[in-house]
Amino acid sequence: MQHFSRFCQSYNIFFYHRSGQVYIKLMPRFATPPVFVGYGIRVRPTNIDEMVREIRNLYQLS
């Protein structure tokens, strides 16, 4: 926690399963959706189709 701003008192925690291991990502909580913080995906009500394409491409889904 020493690497984050001393003014930040709230955090988001993300768990990722990869190669049989569990990885944890701890990020300061800002007024930003967790999907953007965790995956860099911008969420706007007008870009839902774009998000679907991006996620399918990211995870190689048809």
pLDDT digits (tens, 9 = 90+) for 9-45: 788 889 999 999 999 998 777 667 777 777 877 776 6
Average pLDDT over residues 39-52: 77
DSSP 10-58: -EEEEEEEETTEEEEEEEE--SS-HHHHHH-----GGGHHHHHHHHHHH
Residues ≥6 apart with Cβ < 8 Å to 55: 41, 61
Q: Assess whether pLDDT exceeds 70 at residue 7.
A: no
Residue 27 confidence (pLDDT): 79
Residue 22 confidence (pLDDT): 95
Q: Give residue limits of the domains in the chain.
A: 11-58
Residue 3 confidence (pLDDT): 61
Q: Are 10 and 28 in contact (CB under 8 A)?
A: yes
Residue 28 confidence (pLDDT): 78
Beta bridge partners of 48: none
